[in-house]
Structure 1
Amino acid sequence: MATYAIGDLQGCYAEFDALLSRLDFSPSRDRLWLAGDLVNRGPGSLACLRRVMALEGAVETVLGNHDLHLLAVARGHGKLKRNDTLAEILAVPDCDALMDWLCAQPLLVADSARNRVMTHAGLLPQWSLAEARELAAEAEAVLGGDAVDDFLAEMYGNRPARWSPALEGLDRLRSIVNVFTRMRFIDADGTLDFSAKEGLDSAPAGFAPWFTYPRRHPREADLTLLFGHWAALEGETPGARVRAEALDTGCVWGGSLTALDLDSGERIAEPSHQMRR
């Protein structure tokens, strides 16, 4: 039995299928951890969504910002952007069922026995793992409940940029979800910057990658943090002061789709097929 963590699929179905074949992946034997952003920008978003759903108990996936964007658009609280490749999903007769499945997916998955955790964008250094799990569960309850439309209608936005336990209502939920799905650069107080999306040299003054800050909880120093979201890192975490594994290697941008064997540490990459079309 092997467990593999794979970065953002973003609709790269051909590469996903080829990578699973290279891994000789068997859902009866092996397990997948997917770092979110199953859909958008690539040509096979619907196929990715259906394949992951079909894997059922063999896969753990977290929600990414593109997955949440799909939910918002499908439920009438957002608009398609020029480069979105979500129209095929929105047109299928079972779109509502697909969205119900997405709503039920978590923002965080953890393996306490092996001391590892996965979210789409990372883990705020100020949060303990216990706190992060509680906050994820808080947002997940809304996404999977009757108030989901209230949140999706107010989900877009960069404020508040800094988490505070005193936050309430939709501001609190937006802050939680932004940390889990959109975080890249932060300052020493945990304020998020949303303007810079490229490599490390694009950091605004006073900001640095979240993984370059030590965790505030020394007993969690050995925690391995698995994340996607940041293709410009190309799978590297220079200057990391935590155990962080970057999984997004930019398949949809012509890079590769990478699987990390969580037991051996080996990385297996399938080159992007995007430039072959």
Structure 2
Amino acid sequence: MSNVLHEVENFEDYLRIIKDEISIKRPYYRGQEKRVQDGYTLWPSLARYEYLKKKSPTELTQIEKRTLTTFANHVIGHVNHIPPDEWGMLALAQHHGLPTRFMDWTTNPLVALYFATRNTKKDKDGTLMDSAVYVLIQQPDNYSDLKNQQEKSDLEADDEEDTSQTTDGDPYSQYGIDGESEPDSYDDEDESSDSSVKKKSLNYASSFTPFDITANVIYEPPHVSQRIRTQDVVLLACFNPLTPLEEKDYLEIVIKADAHESIRKRLDLYGVFDKQLFPDLDGMAKWLKFHEFECQNGEDE
């Protein structure tokens, strides 16, 4: 079964598909100037380096952690806010071009359409190539939800331990009265049993990093730059970063090459273009370049 949802011939086609044919609760979009079948594989930037595929998972994780540590050591003095954990630090590294296990997606379908049509690629024969917007249908867990579950689990584990020490049927047992031993003289088996819940929770908390996940996770990064905010960026943390997403995990909306020019003009009209999505001098220059040199003097078709 093909995962191609539709072929878009114009801007209105795209809007109709997004409105009427995407029934996913939390859709995430990714625009690409080339389709997967033309060589733009859906995987993180880390997977572009062939030598990494010869590494074991442990070796790969060591390389990722070492690289992130070096990056983090140089962050101070360059940003106003230091990310509080490895998720935030890795997102910052991704934003500045470091290869990571994160993939850029967006919650805004028009932003994805911009990235799919801003530049029209040509094949080796000079023929204009179709592009694509991909819709993630995998529905991965959200980092915030997992973090809240973790914190709740930690609190419940703490409460369980406190309760077990004071409500065992003997109000004097905690003082070692009536032949009961002191708390620190419990045998090894009882100690292991009483603390197992909390130890498991603490181990999970310490390993809740992008490098220890066992399934893909959606992470909404802090707004370390205006670009992240204006592009409605979300990051897909890939637990197996050297393997492409499976076809069953996404839908493909093909954007025909002949429609790119008219779509670019419509996106510009609706404020989804260079200077809005890249609110800096680079974005302004790209927008001005489009209007003065690429847009046929700005005349609409």
Q: TM-score, normalised by structure 2?
A: 0.19
Q: Which one has a larger percent helix, Structure 1 or Structure 2?
A: 2
Q: TM-score, normalised by structure 1?
A: 0.20
Rg larger for: 2
